Chain A
Amino acid sequence: MTGDRFRFPRVEFGPEERALREEVRAFIREERASGGFTPMADSWGSGWSPEWSRKMGARGWLGMMWPKEYGGGEKPALHRYIVTEEMVSAGAPCAAHWVADRQSGPLLLRYGTEEQRRSILPRIAAGECYFAIGMSEPDSGSDLASVRTTAVKVDGGWTINGRKIWSSGAHRSHYMIALVRTAPRDMKARHAGLTQFLIDLGSPGIEIRGIRNIAGERHFNETVFDDAFVPDDMVIGEAGDGWRQVTSELAIERSGPERFLSTFPVLTELVRELGPEPGERDAETVGVLAARTMALRRMSLGISRLLDEGEAPEVAAALVKDLGTRFEGELVREARNLLPAAAAAQSPDLYGKVLADGVLHVPSSTIRGGTNEVLKGIVARELGLR
């Protein structure tokens, strides 16, 4: 069975989980009613709202799995899953804290210094400290191991030179975790000599240049390091261990609900527009999209359970992200074909607005966090084809 290759165990929710879910839903309902947010597609990638992040932090919904001494809630991964899937499906603005809560915090928890944990993690959990990803470079995208930004050892620290690109929200973030070359490239050991650094984006020698995306937003950035000094204690884990850290980070990064629910608000508003008794053609399309959503969620939840059990299901995560991100685009295509709207960012009607968000943001779904071509390559390797 496929189950032998890719396991997606069943997840059951207990009373505590159900109560948490109801609590999150009640919060979202109240905020929606009082104008605290307007649903958007790609809300976790594009909906930057420190105010929203602080509200979530105040409710204990950030850093949920971390130890209490670092501001966490010591909850299982499933609890974080519930909060994130409720937020993303509702289209709530979670971009400010997303990277910090999802991957940077857990990375620091595992490899950071005690001082970093004490000073940074509680601020992330409070929704006050934001992180940018420093992986891609102008000449290194899918081929991440080819990064050229270097760190050279100097007295008391390292000097960094080079450029990082596509860092979402870097201009509004406090820190970046950057994958940097600390030893010359060796074509025989492509993954060696890479190190991750925790970089305070307010340090001298760092320039952050905005890049507008096709939606017209200043979304991502190019960050230029010109002899930027980083102290020794900002090395994450051991020097040379960067590649292993990055790949384990990606297993978490790739399997979450944000990898198939980014455009879900479009479906919600479509169902609203179609009303309680849709025609057969409309009902069919909604039914197909619902069926795909249900299957994807089951797979994604199964991976969350495996993560809770201490496994690193990188391949299954790649498979779900490939299927899920393609689905995000299918949803938008089907919706606009079924119910054409003057999709406009300023549209007074919510369907038109979320559809516009969806159309303009969907191209990034199948690129960010590893292109689908790279993901399919990972699956193919597991199948024994490469």
Chain B
Amino acid sequence: MSDRIVLDTAERILADLCPPEVVNDAENGVWPAALWEALEESGLTLAWVREELGGGGAETGDGFGILKAAGAWAVPAPLAETLLAGWLLEQAGLAAPGGAMTVAPAGPADTVALARGALSGTARQVPFARNAGHVVLLAGGCVLLVERDACALVPGTSLAGEPRDDIAFDGVRPLRTAPAPEGLDADRLLLVGAAVRAAQMAGALSRLLDQSVQYAQEREQFGRPIGRFQAVQHALAELAGEAAAAEAAVDAAAEAVAAGDFGPAGVAAIAAAKVRTGEAASKGAAIAHQVHGAMGFTYEHSLHHRTRRLWCWRDEFGNERAWAVRLGRLVAAEGADALWPFLTGSRAA
């Protein structure tokens, strides 16, 4: 699949099948079956798995385009998680099953162990676990495919009303196992997960800007659209800046992932993306809510589809602080004279 086709397909499907009602219904436990079916049939859910392994075989960069679109439309299904699970399977050369997947552990604090062919341990707040047919794990130096039905679930919910369930793996035997290739460890998964969430945030911010501009053009007070007031114009210009900076930061991270660069430069790009999109999420959501006034604070209005997800995603796979500390330490280790060369990815060899 080529760039434009992938993104156009994603846009078309999401515009048709992911209206605000579908997002609301999903929060009430209604699985968006038509949406998911269309995404799956078009090969978008397994874009990061090569065709021989049952996937869509898209470029890594295109996958990030899909993630931005997923964020923009607030897709209430594990599209990002299935992409990430597919990426893990692909890394280990495992064939991908059909259907929705998720990835565990979702946080660096949880570990799942593998001994004598059986798993033990609990992964907390696994996104969309209850909706996934399979869970892909990184445990004991292996990539494992597990049937979700075989696991015990304790349901939980994110700030955005999305499933974040605890999974107990005790005694579960994986369906498929392959040794993780060199370098693929929990940290690498965290890095790619952070890049994934950053891309979703950039997409959501872009749509948040559109939505807020449109509202400011339509909502009238004091006899004119509120967008005519300079204070509102300036707030929206700042939101535009945040959205643009988020997108720029994510594009750099996407290139690092696509190039398989997980050395200091790649880590810096990904860390910077998670820090900058997290900041943009906080500032951007605050501006969008202020512009929407009380209306945007109602469940009725769809603004929260994006703002609540932004608040959730900025925390997942490491928050701004965690990534900023890591980036700051990387920079400090390089030293003052290498600061500029390091930030510009242009250290002399």
Contact = CB atoms under 8 A, between A and B. Distances in A.
Interface of A: 1-3, 5-6, 8, 10, 13, 18, 21-22, 25, 85-86, 89-90, 264, 267-269, 271-272, 274-278, 280, 282-288, 290-299, 302, 316, 319, 322-323, 373, 375-377, 379-380, 383-386
B217 A384 contact: yes
Contacts of A380: 227, 233-234, 236-237
Contacts of A373: 234
Contacts of B246: 2, 295
B307 interface: no
A297 B346 CA distance: 13
B269 A385 contact: no
Nearest to A278: B332
A2 B205 contact: yes
Contact of B236 (A21, A89, A286, A385): A385
B103 interface: no
A329 to B, nearest CB: 15
B248 interface: yes
Contact of B328 (A85, A285, A298): A285
A2 B240 contact: yes
B238 interface: yes
B79 to A, nearest CB: 17
B230 A377 contact: yes
Contact of A283 (B238, B329, B339): B329
Given A287-B327, A295-B249, A299-B244, A376 B332 contact: no
B348 A10 contact: no
A21 B340 CA distance: 12
B346 A272 contact: no
Contact of B255 (A10, A22, A276, A290): A10
B272 A290 contact: yes
Interface string B100-126: 000000000000000000000000000
Nearest to A22: B348
Nearest to A6: B244
Contacts of A3: 206, 247
Contacts of A319: 237, 240-241, 244
B188 interface: no
Contacts of B247: 1-3, 8
B327 A291 contact: yes
Contact of B332 (A10, A89, A274, A302): A274
27 contacts: A1-B247, A5-B240, A8-B247, A272-B335, A272-B337, A275-B332, A276-B333, A287-B324, A291-B272, A291-B323, A294-B268, A294-B269, A294-B343, A295-B246, A296-B245, A298-B252, A302-B248, A319-B237, A319-B241, A323-B245, A375-B237, A376-B237, A380-B227, A384-B227, A385-B216, A385-B228, A385-B236
A299 B326 CA distance: 23
Given A283-B325, A284-B325, A295-B249, A268 B233 contact: no
A300 B34 CA distance: 42
A291 B244 contact: no
A25 to B, nearest CB: 8
Contacts of A288: 275, 279, 320, 324, 328
Contact of B244 (A8, A22, A267): A8
Given A268-B339, A268-B340, A284-B328, A299 B248 contact: yes
B331 A286 contact: yes
A278 B329 contact: yes
A384 B271 contact: no
A287 B323 contact: yes
Contact of A287 (B217, B227, B325, B348): B325
A227 B258 CA distance: 64
Contacts of A272: 335-337
A286 B327 CA distance: 8
B216 to A, nearest CB: 6
B220 to A, nearest CB: 14
Nearest to A292: B276
A209 B227 CA distance: 43
B180 interface: no
A373 B348 CA distance: 40
B332 to A, nearest CB: 5
A283 B332 contact: yes
A267 B343 CA distance: 12
B321 interface: yes
A25 B342 CA distance: 13
Contacts of B252: 294-295, 298
B174 interface: no
Nearest to A280: B325
